[in-house]
Amino acid sequence: MQTSMSANKRGLSILRGIVLFFLVLFCLFPLVWMAFLAFRTPDAMFEPFWRNLSSFSTETFVSTLQSGFTKSIWNSFLAASISMIVAMVIGTPAAFALAKWSIKRKYIWKWVIQLLRMAPPVGFAIPLFLAYINLGMIDTLPGLILSYVTFTVPLVIWLMWMFFSQIPNELMEAAWMDGSSIWRSFLTIALPLSTPGLVAAGILSFIFSWNDFFFALILTRANTSTGPVAVMNFLTESSYNWGGIASAGLILSLPTLPVIFFMSKYIVQGLTSGAVKG
């Protein structure tokens, strides 16, 4: 009986492993195919690789790096990094205040924050565009960063609020009774206990800004064009540079891959925090 049960468990584990393998393969296929196209010569772009093994070349990838696309990548990195830092600096203390201070109807603010985060970006497009024209902020990096901060701050507040709410109030009150100031208890107690939330909020804020296409398309021009928008430069009315598109997409994917692989534990903890009480 035990032998039969162990055999069934072993068979179930093998089946689960096979399913997971094909699921991962299915998810990675677009990235692998994009890398495959990025290193093919233009004349053999869509030919089966086993027919001509000499058709692989780094020419398209190198030409993409040597073009103006690198400037757009730098703009994306600056906008994503600065907006992430600003959102964390603003959103983290705000989340701590909402979680630990006695504020009337503070849970209404939680719903307002969630609504801001869930609101479709297209609803903000026209007001932002008109305001930026009047302020002279079109095609400026600060203007792009400000638009990203508008959406990343609610995300940071929402995630960090859940983490700070899990810290026992008795722990904070004991620190205050010992003479610790609010800022000191926030920096020395609340932040270290909420490290997974900080990492998750920072990563998600960076990825949101890094992958943004909508706001960058509307609010930027040639000087501050970001990577996702610059990919359109490989498209013309008469032809498509598939190798350039693939290499540009691969370059855009590279910064996020290490983050996902090495920080996935913190992302899961940050997103599932507060889901189970007790």
Q: What is the CATH number of the domain that holds 93?
A: 1.10.3720.10
- Residue 157: name the closest of 82, 83, 93, 79 by CA: 93
Given this model, what pLDDT does residue 141 score? 93
- Note the residue count of the chain: 278
Question: Which domain range does residue 112 map to?
Answer: 68-272
Under 8 Å CB-to-CB from 266, ≥6 apart: which residues?
A: 195, 196, 199, 200, 203
Q: Which two tokens stand for residue 103?
A: 């504020």
Given this model, what pLDDT does residue 266 score? 63
Does residue 29 sit within a domain?
Answer: no
Does residue 250 sit within a domain?
Answer: yes
Please list the pLDDT of the chain residue by residue as tens digits (278 residues): 556 666 677 778 888 889 999 998 898 888 888 888 888 877 777 777 667 666 778 888 888 888 888 899 999 999 999 999 999 999 999 899 888 877 777 777 777 777 777 778 888 888 889 999 999 999 999 999 999 998 899 889 988 888 888 888 888 878 878 777 788 888 888 888 888 888 888 988 999 999 999 999 999 988 899 999 999 888 877 778 888 888 898 888 887 777 766 666 666 665 555 444 44
Q: Which two tokens stand for residue 246?
A: 């693939």
Does residue 19 sit within a domain?
Answer: no
The alpha carbon dihedral of 13, 15, 21, 24 has a sign of negative
Does residue 193 sit within a domain?
Answer: yes
Given this model, what pLDDT does residue 272 score? 59
Does residue 9 sit within a domain?
Answer: no
Q: How many distinct structural domains can be found in the chain? A: 1
Does residue 82 sit within a domain?
Answer: yes
Does residue 50 sit within a domain?
Answer: no
Given this model, what pLDDT does residue 218 score? 92
Q: Which pTM does this prediction carry?
A: 0.82
Q: Which two tokens stand for residue 249?
A: 């997409």
Q: What letters, b where the CB count within 10 A reaches 16 and e where it falls short, cover 193-208?
A: ebebbbbbbbbbbbbb
Does residue 10 sit within a domain?
Answer: no
